[in-house]
Structure 1
Amino acid sequence: MGNRAELSTFLRSRRARLKPEQAGLLQYGERRRVPGLRREELAQLAGVSVDYYVRFEQGRSENVSDAVIDAVASALRLDQDERAHLFRLARPHAVNGNAYSSSSAQVVRPGLRRLLESVPEVPAYVIGRRTDILAWNEMFSALLLVDLDGLPSEQRNLAWLVFCHPEARARFVDWEGKARDLVAYLRMDAGRHPSDADFATLVGQLSEASADFRQLWANQEVRDKTHGAHDLRHPAVGEFTLSYETLRLPDDPDQSLLLHTVEAGSPSEAALRIIARRRHLVGRVG
């Protein structure tokens, strides 16, 4: 899907979810033929002409001002991530001008690989564009029960694992929540790299392989998550909770280091140590 179509689809989806009464518009019992707000209603809320908004929604207003984009975002009640996504869709040329070309190779520095190896009891990995898993330590593989080294390179991808790899999928107690968050992040990342054809390839492959992905992708959700927690299950220990922190690299914002932690003295800490012990990782330093 081209950038113009992405912008149009995103705006229409955000209009459809906003009820007139939520926007402070009075209704007099008229029968509405479309869900959510009409284009003319949104134009009124944003303070622009209907014709101007229609051209914007159709991607035919290349010189739209920041003020108009901001007014439309406010009228649609977009959150911070959605607002940033709208600006990227409306101004793809500005995104394409950044220093990190979407066509450049994703290379993990040797020092970062050594860092992964130096925390053998902490599940950790480096994620890049399109949720590609670029580097990982053995504890992360043990957590997922997936031999990442043995997978084809195109399948060493977090979205592919969550939707298409039965073993990885089974690790998440709340798989639906994980899947929603991941698709929302993937769409946000795609907005950062509108010229990256590999995004379209990945989305096409996932859409063909997974009905769950197709449904979630159509929802047009956009969300960033830099920290949080997962309830996981593992055949060696049952269910336990892992927290995670995402550290974006200052010299390459397309790469992030994800580290999983547990509360000291908790059952989850005991569970993680059992998993590490079974893989002979306790006390090892790379």
Structure 2
Amino acid sequence: MAATGDLQALGQLLRSRRERLRPSDVGLPAGSRRRTAGLRREEVALLANMSVTYYTFLEQGRPVRPSGQVLDALADALRMSGAERQYLRVLARGGEDGPGAGTAAAAAEWIDPEAVALVQRLEPFPTIVKGRRWDVLASNPSARELFADWDALPDGERNLVRWMFTAPRARTVYLEWEPEARAMLGRFRLAAAGHPDDPGFEALIEGLKGDSEEVRQWWPRHDVMAVGSGSKKLRHPRLGALNYSHVVLQLADNPDQTLVTYSAAGAVG
């Protein structure tokens, strides 16, 4: 059974996704005047083929355990993205479906020396390995030049999410800081949902809420995004604004850890 905190988060997710939809988005008539934004609970229940009472219990965070079929029906009714569907399932299962669920908290912070050596061999491509809470566990000189000198930072500051929202340099490095920061927070939320018994995630977010207005505003929205490769516009301290492609690789021996390597793909036009 999911923990109480997960059930509350599940209810908040359902409500936030219900409120962002209009009847026309799901093929329903607008009907009479609405006092609040979004769909009504009974409309979601109708679309998901369940009773209003059962859906209300879910949205209120009551101790009910929805089946996979019910979760799929809710995701379809609320027009959830792939990442949102994964997040919904993780919350409903109390983290047991999350990546690396069930591993010891300390184990994710140990990094294989071979992985550290690989990061160095990938020089001059900026490369890091991040742990379960997105702490930077290894980096090469090019990554430290582009982003931050992680080795020189205090232990509590060697964290990608914390750096993104509290370091002035992050807003200089990322030419499109706001969408990148929103995406990073969404990916971190999905990672945190997979480890409901790890207090380190909550401590990090609570600290960020105190230090970042953006985190205070964005975290309650329950936006999530899947981790994946892609491209970014970054400002290199010596070379200027460049387009970078990046690849994200999960470490086989510790799936909570990922290697991220960047390759410059030309100047920003």
TM-score of the pair, normalised by structure 2: 0.92
The one-letter code of the counterpart of 1:126 is: V
Offset, 1:105: 4.6
Q: How does 1:168-183 map to 2 (within 5 A)?
A: 168-183=170-185
TM-superposed deviation, 1:31: 1.5
- Separation in 2 of the partners of 1:31 and 1:18? 15
Task: Choose from 10, 14, 18 the match for 1:7.
Answer: 10
Asked whether the equivalents of residues 250 and 259 of structure 2 are also in contact (C-alpha less than 8 Å), the reply is: yes
- In the aligned structure 1, how far is the partner of 2:267 from the partner of 2:221? 37
Identity %: 39
Task: Choose the corresponding residue for 2:224, options 209, 222, 225.
Answer: 222
- 1:20 corresponds to 2:43: no
CA contact (8 A) 2:89 2:97 kept: no
In structure 2, the residue matched to 1:247 is 249
Shift of 1:3: 1.5
RMSD of aligned residue pairs (Cα, Å)? 1.8
Give the drift of 1:62. Answer: 2.8
Residue of structure 2 in register with 1:41 after alignment: 43
| Distance in structure 2 (CA, Å) of the matches to 1:117 and 1:174 | 28
CA distance in 2, matches of 1:94, 1:237: 44
Paired with 1:150 and 1:80, the residues of 2 have a C-alpha distance of: 38
CA deviation string 1:96-132 (max 9, x = no partner)? 8944234545111010111111122010000111221
210-219 or 241-250, larger mean C-alpha shift: 210-219
Aligned residue identity for 2:146: L
Aligned to 1:125: 128
Q: Where in structure 1 are there 5+ consecutive unaligned residues? A: 269-286
Instruction: State the Cα deviation string for residues 17-60 of structure 1 (Å, max 9, x = none).
Output: 111110111123x2211211111110011000000111122222
Which residue of structure 2 lines up, in the alignment, with residue 276 of structure 1? none
For the pair shown, the structure with the greater C-alpha radius of gyration is 1
| Deviation of 1:63 (Å) | 2.8
Post-superposition shift, 1:267? Answer: 4.5
SS at match of 2:36: coil
Shift of 1:218: 2.1
Secondary structure of the structure 2 residue equivalent to 1:177? helix
Distance 2:129 2:191 in 1: 15
1:69 to 61, 68, 71: 71
Q: Distance in 1 between matches of 2:60 and 2:231?
A: 39
CA distance in structure 1 between the aligned counterparts of 2:87 and 2:95, rounded to whole angstroms: 14
CA distance in structure 2 between the aligned counterparts of 1:116 and 1:206, rounded to whole angstroms: 28
Q: Structure 2: how far apart are the matches of 1:66 and 1:86?
A: 10
Residue 52 of structure 1 is matched in structure 2 by 54
Gaps of 5+ in 2: none
1:117, 1:93 → 2: CA distance?
A: 33
**1:149, distance to aligned residue in structure 2 (A):** 1.3
1:141 aligns with 2:177: no
Q: What is the letter of the counterpart of residue 13 of structure 1? A: S
Of the candidates 161, 165, 168, which is equivalent to residue 166 of structure 1? 168
Q: In 1, are the aligned partners of 2:233 and 2:242 still within 8 Å (CA)? A: yes
Kindly provide the amino acid, as one letter, of the partner of residue 179 in structure 1: A
Aligned length: 264
**Residues 151-162 of structure 1 correspond to what in structure 2 (within 5 A)?**
151-162=153-164
The answer (yes or no) to whether the contact 1:231–1:240 under 8 Å persists in 2 is: yes
Letter in 1 for 2:75: A
SS in 2 for 1:255: strand
